[in-house]
Amino acid sequence: MTLPVTLAEVVEVHRITPRTARITFEARELADTVGTAPDQQLKLCFPRPGQAEPVLPERRDDPMDWYRAYLAIPEAERPVLRSFTLRRRRPGTRLVEIDFVLHGDTGPAAAWALRAAPGDRLGMVGPSALYAPPVPFAEAAAAADWVLLAGDESALPALATLVGALPDGVRALAFVEVADEAERQPLDGPAGLDVHLLHRDGAAPGTVLTGAVRAAELPTGVPFAWLAGEAGAVRALRRHLVEERGVPKPSVDFTGYWRHRLTQDDAPTAEDLADAREWSAGR
Ligand SMILES: Cc1cc2nc3c(=O)[nH]c(=O)nc-3n(C[C@H](O)[C@H](O)[C@H](O)COP(=O)(O)OP(=O)(O)OC[C@H]3O[C@@H](n4cnc5c(N)ncnc54)[C@H](O)[C@@H]3O)c2cc1C
């Protein structure tokens, strides 16, 4: 399996909330399987200032080798790399939608998305089955007594695809923290889904989310939990579930999507490294 690397051109930009841009791209190449599974992550390559389009890493036969190819690009030309989620693929086309949280002007990805216009070009590495979880989400959900989904607005694109993949009859609770009333987005799923949309309203990221899960009366039995969003909040939620609610570690799929006051280029903290070890051990 080769990891797909392609250019993608903006065809449409739509503000679905004041601070979320849904950007539709036409990918130059796209495998037929892309968009058929939930929670498909990909890496976006953002051009450096002055570049019309990013320099992309060469494809390698070894699918895990793309990062070495990326690092081989001279630093001044090397694109900025950020992780995103495929929100939707328009059936029968090479059009893909990605939702960008417009969290400010400091991060290269958010700053790019704030100004994106038709014709702008990015690089896409993936999505790929290489990043698929060991047990597909629908299978893990069906095998559990109930499902817990928790995240912030950066996880909403993934959550939207996950609730769409929930098997009928499964009881599921989703806790989603967004900035305020204006940032609410519907999360449509099957009848057994109970959605709690929470507002931060100026509180520190993740505190309202963790508080709500801690205070919740959760169903009995062993859940399958999926957690994503600000890394500290994800860590706190995971610890709460495992240490205070007795959820077995393998039943918790967790990913820190971003770090409060740190960029994705900043070095990992000791806690990030510990999370990464736990995450790999669960795969
Ligand atoms: C697997 C995966 C999937 C993801 N999917 C999506 C997605 O579909 N849509 C999406 O918008 N994000 C998604 N993210 C999160 C995204 O990669 C990060 O938010 C990333 O930091 C954005 O890069 P940046 O260049 O804008 O900011 P950076 O340069 O990384 O950070 C600059 C500053 O902005 C702050 N910051 C970064 N992200 C946020 C945020 N979301 N809210 C508030 N402050 C922030 C940082 O703390 C830092 O102070 C995903 C992450 C992962 C790992």
Q: At what angle do helices 207-215 and 231-239 cross, to 10 degrees?
A: 20
CATH number of 137-281: 3.40.50.80
pLDDT of residue 208: 98
HSE of 175, CA atoms in CB hemisphere, 13 A: 25
Residue 96 token pair = 């893909």
Residue 95: strand pairing partners = 26
First-residue to last-residue Cα distance in the chain = 19
- Going from the Cα of 166 to the center of ligand 1, the distance in angstroms, rounded, reads 26
Three-state SS at 205: coil
Residue 100 token pair = 């960008």
CA–CA distance, 82 with 43 (Å, rounded to integer): 6
Q: Kindly give the confidence (pLDDT) of every residue in the chain, 283 residues in length, as a single tens digit, with 9 standing for 90 and above.
A: 677 899 999 999 999 999 999 999 999 988 888 888 999 999 999 999 899 999 998 876 676 788 888 999 999 999 999 999 999 999 899 999 999 999 999 899 999 999 999 999 999 998 888 888 888 999 999 999 999 999 999 999 999 999 999 999 999 999 999 999 999 999 999 999 999 999 999 999 999 999 999 999 999 999 999 999 999 999 999 999 999 999 999 999 999 999 999 999 999 999 989 888 888 877 6
Give helix then strand counts, H and E, for the chain: 7, 12
**Residues in the ligand 1 pocket, defined by CB under 6 Å:** 41, 82-85, 99-101, 103-104, 106-110, 154, 157, 255, 257-264
Strand bridging mode 172-178 / 146-152: parallel
Q: Give the mutation target among 105, 154, 279 for probing the ligand 1 site: most ligand atoms within 8 A of CB.
A: 154
CATH number of 5-131: 2.40.30.10
- Please report, to the nearest 10 degrees, the dihedral formed by the alpha carbons of residues 255, 259, 260, 261 taken in order: 180
Cis peptide upstream of residue 127 (ω within 30 degrees of 0): yes
pLDDT of residue 1: 64
pLDDT of residue 283: 67
Residues of the chain with CATH 2.40.30.10: 5-131
Residues of the chain with CATH 3.40.50.80: 137-281
